Amino acid sequence: MFGLFGLFLSLCVFAYNHFPRDVEKNLEAAFYRIGAELGDAESQYKIGNMYRDGQGVDQDYGTAARWLHRSARHGYAFAQNNLGSMYYRGEGVAQDYRKAFYWTRKAAQKGSAISQNTIAVMYYRGQGVAKDVSKARELFVKSAEKGNSIAQCYLGFIYEDGEGVPKDYAKAMEWYRNSADKGNASAQAAMGEMYGKGHGVPIDKAKALELFRKSADKGNSSAQNDLGMLYLKGEGVPQDDSAAIGWFRKAAAQENIDAQFNMGVMYEDGHGVPQDYELAFEWYRKAASQGDSSAQNKIGMMYSMGAGVPQDYARAVECYMTSAGKGNPKAQYNLGVMYEKGRGAPQDFTKALEWYQKSADNGLPKAQYYLGSIYKEGKEIRQDYAKSEEWLFKAHKNGSKQALNTLAYLLIEQGKKLDDVRKLLEKAVETEPENAIYRDTLGWVMYKQGSYDEALKGLQKASELLPEDDTIRGHIAETYVMLGDKAKAREHWSKAVELRLHSMKRHEDDE
- Give the CA count within 13 Å in the CB-facing half-sphere of 142: 16
Closest C-alpha among 317, 299, 314 to residue 355: 317
**Lowest mean pLDDT: which of 32-36, 259-263, 282-286, 394-398?**
32-36
Tens digits of per-residue pLDDT, 133-143? 999 999 999 88
End-to-end CA distance of the chain: 93
320 falls within a domain = no
- pLDDT greater than 90 at residue 33: no
459 falls within a domain = yes
Distance CA 407, CA 384 (A): 13
Domain at 452, CATH number? 1.25.40.10
Confirm if 357 and 371 have CB atoms less than 8 A apart.
yes
Q: What is the mean pLDDT of residues 389-408?
A: 94
Query: What is the phi-psi region of residue 435: left when phi exceeds 0, alpha when psi lies from -120 to 50, beta otherwise?
Result: beta
Closest C-alpha among 326, 271, 274 to residue 300: 326
Longest distance between any two alpha carbons in the chain, whole Å: 119
Task: Give residue 509's pLDDT band: very low, low, confident or very high (50, 70, 90).
Answer: low
Task: Give residue 506's pLDDT band: very low, low, confident or very high (50, 70, 90).
Answer: low
What's residue 23's pLDDT? 44
Q: What is the mean pLDDT of residues 264-288?
A: 97
Q: Is the pTM of this model over 0.85?
A: no
Rounded to the nearest integer, the mean pLDDT of the chain is: 92
Closest C-alpha among 484, 482, 479, 481 to residue 462: 479
| Residue where a domain terminates, one of 79, 106, 131 | 131
Neighbours of 454 (CB within 10 A): 16
Q: What is the mean pLDDT of residues 66-92?
A: 95
Domain count, the chain: 2
CA triple 30-31-37, angle to 5 deg: 85
What's residue 172's pLDDT? 96
Distance CA 158, CA 167 (A): 8
What's residue 29's pLDDT? 80
337 falls within a domain = no
| Residue where a domain terminates, one of 106, 131, 156 | 131
179 falls within a domain = no
Q: What is the mean pLDDT of residues 6-17?
A: 50
321 falls within a domain = no
- pLDDT greater than 60 at residue 322: yes
- Find the domain containing 437 and state its range: 417-511
Closest C-alpha among 105, 149, 97 to residue 126: 97
147 falls within a domain = no
192 falls within a domain = no
- pLDDT greater than 50 at residue 20: no
Confirm if 119 and 105 have CB atoms less than 8 A apart.
yes
Tens digits of per-residue pLDDT, 329-386? 999 999 999 999 999 999 999 999 999 999 999 999 999 999 999 999 998 889 999 9
254 backbone dihedrals φ, ψ, rounded to 5°: -95, 20
| Residue where a domain terminates, one of 131, 157, 186 | 131
